Copies of this chain bind each other. A is one copy, B any other.
Amino acid sequence: MAMTKRPARTQDVPIPIDVRARTITDIARLAGVSAGTVSRALSGSSLVKPRTSEKIRMLATAHGFSPNIAARNLRTRRTGAVGVIIPLGHEAGQHISDPFFMALLGHLADALTDRGYDLLLSRVLPSNKDWLAQFVDSGRVDGVIIIGQSDQSAVLDEVASRYLPIVVWGGHIEGQVYCSVGSDNKLGGRLATEHLINKGCRRIAFFGDAAAPEIAQRLDGCREALAEAGIDATIDYLPVHLTAENAHPAILARLSENRIVPDGIVAASDVVGMSALRALSEFGLSVPSDVRVVGYDDLSIAAQTTPPLSSIKQDLATGAAHLVDILFRRMAGEATESVVMAPSLICRSST
């Protein structure tokens, strides 16, 4: 059979099924309906006849079609994304890969994914006062979760007073305007300290930098517990940063100063606690017989140290669930109250 060459005319060429339909209009043409119908069919509207709807869905999946999100966002004035912001105000050295941030972030990702929302991660070094307002006004997200007040509570208050869908992870501070979810840090510090006192410790040290409000509250609780127990020794406060790289040498240095060695240590985080364990071991002191150590956060690493680290547990899974739940309620226009969760002591071999 002889082949006849002829110019391809558009109408001669059937649309190949494997060409990816890009827009809703493409699908509409294929299905012989209008774009509006396709939109409704794909969003599961009951306005379209079941037969039509099914045909459209078949076509859509056959062509691997997925609607353009930017266009949808523009029209619906929603984004389907939630911003998670980590302000690193007081400790420039503190990196986003801090295990605590990451653990909470993981839970948030899970909770948001479950609700079909995207998570827009943003690490901010708050240089000017406008960082949050800018982010909020850019319309990239439907709501914002801030992990840690850092030293930015003034900024948080200001934005929260005009922008409803925002929630902050952190301890509750007297007079704050914004809505927060966190655990009772003062109580946590107290629990740790009382536990050490009960175990017989009398010379108690606190390792952690009280520049962050959460840490300051823990230190407060620690002091209160000591005062109530009638122990008048001033607490041995060592303001170490929360990274292992900083904490370990600082702790070693303190131990070497040959002042009185503490017999109980409250660490402001598990990472600091872990560094303390290591430093003590290197210094020839054994845990718990010479010194007892309590960490904070009860991350999964706490259970894996040698010896396993006692720790003040903040239930991050519940915390993340609260954060997301409250955020969605606020996105729906509801005013919500802050949540303060009770921390609990997890007792392991280090005490």
Please name 29 pairs of A and B residues whose Cβ atoms are closer than 8 Å in the assembled complex, sorted by A. A65-B137, A66-B137, A67-B138, A68-B74, A69-B138, A70-B73, A70-B139, A71-B74, A96-B106, A96-B110, A97-B102, A97-B105, A97-B106, A99-B99, A109-B123, A118-B120, A118-B140, A120-B121, A121-B121, A243-B300, A244-B301, A244-B304, A245-B300, A248-B303, A271-B304, A274-B305, A275-B304, A278-B305, A301-B301
Residues of chain B contacted by A105 (CB below 8 angstroms): 96-97, 102, 105, 121
In angstroms, how far is the closest chain B Cβ from the Cβ of A281?
5
Interface residues as binary, A225-246 with B (CB distance below 8 Å gives 1, 0 otherwise): 0000000000000000001110
Whose C-beta in chain B lies nearest to the C-beta of A72?
B70
Within 8 A of B (CB), among A160-209: none
A277 sits at the interface (CB 8 A): yes
Docked CA distance A293–B346 (Å): 28
Residues of chain B contacted by A305 (CB below 8 angstroms): 274, 278, 305-306
In angstroms, how far is the closest chain B Cβ from the Cβ of A191?
24
A95 sits at the interface (CB 8 A): yes
Give the copy number: 2
In angstroms, how far is the closest chain B Cβ from the Cβ of A328?
18
Residues of chain B contacted by A120 (CB below 8 angstroms): 81, 118-121
In angstroms, how far is the closest chain B Cβ from the Cβ of A297?
12
With A73-B73, A274-B304 given, name 5 new contacts (CB 8 A). Answer: A66-B139, A105-B121, A113-B122, A118-B140, A120-B121
Which 4 A-B pairs rank lowest in CB-CB distance, beginning with the nearest? A97-B106, A102-B102, A70-B73, A96-B106
A64 sits at the interface (CB 8 A): yes
In angstroms, how far is the closest chain B Cβ from the Cβ of A203?
22
Interface residues as binary, A98-121 with B (CB distance below 8 Å gives 1, 0 otherwise): 110011011101100100001111
A79 sits at the interface (CB 8 A): yes
Within 8 A of B (CB), among A244-281: 244-245, 248, 271, 274-275, 277-278, 281
In angstroms, how far is the closest chain B Cβ from the Cβ of A29?
18
Within 8 A of B (CB), among A123-145: 123, 130, 133-134, 137-140
A57 sits at the interface (CB 8 A): no
**Cβ of B139 and Cβ of A69 under 8 Å apart?**
yes
Residues of chain B contacted by A65 (CB below 8 angstroms): 137
A308 sits at the interface (CB 8 A): yes
**Cβ of A118 and Cβ of B122 under 8 Å apart?**
yes
Whose C-beta in chain B lies nearest to the C-beta of A103?
B97
A313 sits at the interface (CB 8 A): no
**Cβ of B74 and Cβ of A70 under 8 Å apart?**
yes
Residues of chain B contacted by A278 (CB below 8 angstroms): 304-306, 308
**Cβ of A140 and Cβ of B69 under 8 Å apart?**
yes
Docked CA distance A278–B350 (Å): 13
Residues of chain B contacted by A20 (CB below 8 angstroms): 137
Residues of chain B contacted by A300 (CB below 8 angstroms): 97, 243-245
Docked CA distance A340–B162 (Å): 50
Docked CA distance A70–B119 (Å): 16
In angstroms, how far is the closest chain B Cβ from the Cβ of A198?
25
Partner of A110, one of B98, B123, B303: B123
